[in-house]
Chains A and B, each alone.
Chain A
Amino acid sequence: RPALTQEHLEGVTTASTFVLDQPRCVFKDFGNAVIWLVVALDKDASTFNNSAGPGTPETAFQSFPKSVSAYMTLNATLDSYPCPKPAGDITVLRVGSETSCADDNSRPTCNGPLPGPGPYRVKFLALEGSVPVAETAWSMPITLRTAKSPNSISTAGSGHSGGMIAITAILSILLAILLAALVAMLVFGGSDSCGSSTFSKPESVTVRRYNTHHVYDQPAAR
């Protein structure tokens, strides 16, 4: 049965496209057949009639899903899906990649972007002429991504880190101490510091007179 690709692709499902594995080695004996992809809403899958022809208004992409319950697209011959698949190749089908024909009613088999998130079911149908000769089972339901509004992103702060709190607290304390010391310094003025007495400015010079005892002791030594 068809399935979303197992490859590691970022865009396996987007809001309007999804990626399937190609049906390699599935339709082995139908060299003349054209293989179509049938896309239907999950609820309408069981009501699809295999004899509905591709390219008709009943299976036109442009009317999906309003008036048409399933559309057919991505037609290819078996040559496009050689078996076995070469190792290392990425063999996928991107459903919804053709935007140019999405509104073009003259292209009912357009592989246009899907109109909603689904869920959708797909299957491959092999037609010879207009006669269905083989088909796969319906896939599991495929749901596409829905985008939220950016207003739902919460930009509330994550709180303050320890470093910021430490800086704020310590610096506030230091500033408070400085201001207190400044006030104390101005109020209490020139108190003694650095030893037992205040020190003088280096330019002021004091001259002292001093007596030596020897001069007075020997007055009569002439």
Chain B
Amino acid sequence: MAKSDDCVHILQGLLVFGNVVIGMCGIALTAECIYVVSNPHGAYPVLKATENSDIHAAAWIGIFVGLALFALSILGIIGVIKASRTLLLVYIILMIITFAFEMASSITAATHQDALTPNVLLKQMLERYQKSEPNNNSDNEVTKTWDELMHQNHCCGVKGPSDWQEYTSAFRSTHSDADYPWPRACCVLDAKGLPVNLDGCKLGVSGYYNSNGCYDAISGPVNAHAWGVAWFGFAILCWTFCVLLGTMFYWSGIEY
């Protein structure tokens, strides 16, 4: 009996430890997903317009999953210490449901990274930036976001200012090529928001216009977020898997 008691205590200890880790990871996941959702890098309207806001859906699911993991881990600890069959059965079933949701969030975040290609952003920018009859508010948002992006990151277009020359666009239909080879936002602007040297900008003299594309500035932070949500979620799920198997083993050994 003593040997079996030790075995029980070790298993209980392991399960309690496992649940403590799950609880803390749940809080960390919630914190990370709140960070992603609160959008510190300002590219969200552009992403939403490309119907590519999966990363936000994944992050929202992550917030709730994190809180659920924390609550369930407390339930699990209580259930293991009291060796209550009902509590542990409820715990196991709810944990499997949470597992499924977190799996969805993790896969969505990983898929999103693949879907955000430069061409998708390029097409959206050409079709909606400075659209003269904005269909809905999101077109205005797209224009404002692109202007801010180009201003803050000192970039122009998706791959470069030549985007505006290689393709026709909504912008081109209202702004002549001779006056606006690329939007004014691509020029180096002074404190008042006026181009430092308008002729230099129109000619494309380096120093008076932004020659880089904005794709890196957009996709960098977004991909970092997606990577975080996807792989941290994956790690938590692997750990949860082990704890759940242990809990099922423990449950099947409790007397009725």
A interface residue numbers (CB < 8 A to B): 7-12, 14-17, 19, 90, 92, 94, 96-99, 112-113, 145, 147-150, 152-155, 157-161, 163-164, 167-168, 170-172, 174-175, 177-179, 181-182, 185, 188-202
Contacts and interface: CB of A to CB of B under 8 A. Distances in A.
B236 to A, nearest CB: 11
Main secondary structure on A side of the interface with B: loop
B90 interface: no
9 contacts: A96-B178, A153-B167, A155-B119, A179-B96, A185-B252, A195-B4, A196-B4, A198-B255, A201-B83
Contact of B254 (A15, A161, A167, A199): A199
A8 B4 contact: no
A178 B111 contact: no
Interface stretch (B16-24, B37-45, B134-142, B168-176): B168-176
Given A189-B252, A192-B253, 11 more contacts: A11-B203, A15-B165, A147-B172, A163-B230, A167-B107, A168-B110, A172-B103, A178-B244, A179-B96, A181-B244, A194-B250
Contacts of B154: none
Contacts of A148: 166-168
B196 to A, nearest CB: 15
B11 interface: yes
A159 B7 contact: no
B238 A97 contact: no
B112 to A, nearest CB: 9
A16 B127 contact: no
Contacts of A150: 122-123, 126-127, 167-169
Contacts of B253: 190-194, 198-199
B99 A175 contact: yes
B44 to A, nearest CB: 20
A181 B246 CA distance: 11
A185 B167 CA distance: 62
A195 B241 contact: no
Interface of B: 1, 3-5, 7-8, 11, 82-83, 92-93, 96, 99-100, 103, 106-107, 110-111, 113-115, 117, 119-120, 122-123, 126-127, 161-162, 165-169, 172, 176-179, 181, 199, 202-206, 209, 211, 230-231, 234, 237-238, 241, 244-245, 248-256
A154 B167 CA distance: 13
A164 to B, nearest CB: 4
A201 B127 contact: no
A185 B251 contact: yes
Contacts of A94: 199, 202-203
B215 to A, nearest CB: 13
| Residue of A11, A19, A149 most packed against chain B (CB within 10 A) | A11
Contacts of A190: 252-256
Contacts of A10: 161-162, 181, 203-204, 206, 209, 211
A163 B169 CA distance: 35
A201 B85 CA distance: 10
A160 B114 contact: yes
A87 B237 CA distance: 66
Given A150-B167, A174-B238, A199-B8, A188 B252 contact: yes
Contacts of B167: 147-150, 152-153
Identify the 8 closest CB pairs spanning chains A and B, nearest first: A10-B204, A195-B4, A193-B253, A113-B178, A11-B204, A164-B110, A150-B126, A15-B177
A161 B205 contact: no
A201 B234 CA distance: 35
Contacts of A179: 96
A201 B179 CA distance: 84
Nearest to B123: A153
B255 A199 contact: yes
A179 B245 CA distance: 10
A191 B123 CA distance: 62
A157 B114 contact: yes
Contact of B176 (A19, A90, A99, A199): A99
B92 A182 contact: yes
Given A14-B165, A167-B106, A178 B255 contact: no
A148 B123 CA distance: 12
A200 B4 contact: no
B125 to A, nearest CB: 9
Contacts of B230: 163-164, 167
